[in-house]
Amino acid sequence: MVKNIAIIGDSESVKGFGAVGIDVILCNEPSDSAVVLKAVAERDTYAIIYMTEELFEASKKERDKYSEKPVPAIIPLPGARGNTGIGSRRLSAFVEQAVGSDILFR
């Protein structure tokens, strides 16, 4: 079964992704992000779900349900409102866990 890629975010942040074949799911309110993420993840059609950092942080409890599963990978991207640095912090934590030391950002 072929798995697709989706992005969840506000219209300003995600509008260009549809042009490159990524399924765009609009969510303008952080308070709705957990419900939207659950609906998208349960479709079982996406291998990767990108989310704007603002929505990614707001949906932590729902997102944690998928953290131990290989699919879907839920990945934060900076949105139109700016970069919070969560992507860099997560990458650093993953590298430190795998290697035993933060070799990327020191």
* Helix (H) or strand (E) segment spanning residue 87: helix 86-99
User: Which domains, from first to last, does the chain contain?
Assistant: 4-80 (3.40.50.10580)
Q: Which of 2-11, 43-52, 67-76, 96-105 comes out lowest in average pLDDT? A: 96-105
How high is the pLDDT of residue 103? Answer: 66
pLDDT reading at 28 higher than 80: yes
30-73 confidence digits (pLDDT tens): 999 999 999 999 998 999 999 999 999 999 999 999 988 889 99
* DSSP annotation string for 17-64: GGGGTPEEEE---GGGHHHHHHHHHTTS-EEEEEEEHHHHHHTHHHHH
Residue 36 and residue 91: Cα distance in Å, rounded?
Answer: 24
The pTM of this model reads 0.82
CB distance 103 to 95 below 8 Å: yes
Residue 22 and residue 97: Cα distance in Å, rounded?
Answer: 30
Contacts of 1 by beta carbon, 8 Å cutoff, 6+ apart: none
